């Protein structure tokens, strides 16, 4: 594993010299975990609590999320995974004290058409960068159990009420038996109202899971 990571780091360094980084990715490349402003907050939508870890309006956070989302930057994914793992360590420990349910981590999925267009799912990049204990240990990462079955208009272009209608019925669980009687931590990159997380969470709840909804940042 160490050799593979070293090779990956070396390959990325070579690419950086051949293909200049976009300014936001260059700024993110110079960012260190301790300099990321963390502001964990919670809000409710349709009776569900949504926890966000950073404020998208902070310049460093905006660079970080945009580098992840639009550039597929590996270093941005690594930083986001570090932020998320710090939060999940306490959350999972607390959940295990009060319940014997298996803990599962699931990313918000992209529709197949959007995934082909972008070439990656940015939140999947983050979750696969988590320490192994979160992927196959204290919790289990199951990236494809939740599917986006209906293509939707990007939420950023819609008003609050339209956001709720836009994603209603857009998600389904591919194999309910996998997540029945589990505690699912459903993770998104950035949220505004939380409508995507809530409606995706509804599909998981119908399949028999308890859910916790988390976004890296709130816009």
Task: Convert the pLDDT of each residue in 171-190 to its tens digit.
Answer: 999 999 999 999 999 999 99
Confidence class for position 164, pLDDT limits 50, 70, 90: low
Phi, psi angle pair for 34, to nearest 5°: -70, -15
- For position 160, what pLDDT does the model report? 66
Residue 147 Cα to chain centre, angstroms: 14
Q: Which residues contact 130 (CB under 8 A, 6 or more apart)?
A: 81, 84, 85, 88, 105, 141
Task: Convert the pLDDT of each residue in 76-88 to its tens digit.
Answer: 999 999 999 999 9
pTM over 0.85: yes
Task: Convert the pLDDT of each residue in 126-140 to its tens digit.
Answer: 999 999 999 999 999
- Domains of the chain (ranges; CATH) run 34-55+85-218 (3.40.50)
Closest CA to 108 of 184, 40, 180: 184
Q: Which residues contact 63 (CB under 8 A, 6 or more apart)?
A: 24, 25, 27, 28, 31
Q: How many helices (DSSP H) and strands (DSSP E) are in the chain?
A: 10, 8
Task: Convert the pLDDT of each residue in 29-81 to its tens digit.
Answer: 999 999 999 999 999 999 999 999 999 999 999 999 999 999 988 999 999 99
Q: How far apart are CA 106 and CA 171, in angstroms?
A: 13
């Amino acid at each position: 594993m160490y050799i593979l990571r070293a090779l990956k780091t070396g390959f990325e360094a070579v690419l950086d010299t051949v293909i200049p980084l976009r300014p936001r990715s260059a700024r993110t490349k110079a960012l260190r975990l301790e300099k990321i402003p963390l502001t964990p907050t919670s809000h409710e939508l349709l009776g569900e609590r949504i926890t966000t870890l950073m404020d998208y309006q902070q310049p460093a956070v905006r660079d970080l999320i945009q580098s992840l989302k639009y550039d597929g930057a590996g270093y941005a994914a690594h930083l986001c995974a570090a932020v998320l793992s710090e939060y999940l360590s306490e959350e999972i420990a607390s959940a295990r004290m009060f319940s014997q349910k298996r803990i599962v981590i699931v990313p918000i999925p992209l529709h197949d058409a959007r995934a082909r267009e972008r070439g990656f799912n940015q939140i999947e990049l983050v979750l696969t960068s988590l320490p192994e204990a979160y992927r196959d240990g204290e919790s289990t990462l199951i990236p494809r159990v939740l599917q986006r079955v209906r293509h939707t208009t990007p939420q950023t272009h819609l008003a609050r009420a339209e956001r709720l209608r836009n994603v209603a019925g857009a998600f389904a669980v591919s194999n309910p038996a996998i997540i029945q009687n589990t505690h699912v931590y459903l993770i998104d990159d950035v949220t505004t109202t939380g409508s995507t997380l809530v409606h995706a969470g509804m599909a998981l709840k119908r399949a028999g899971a308890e859910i916790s909804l988390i976004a890296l940042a709130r816009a």
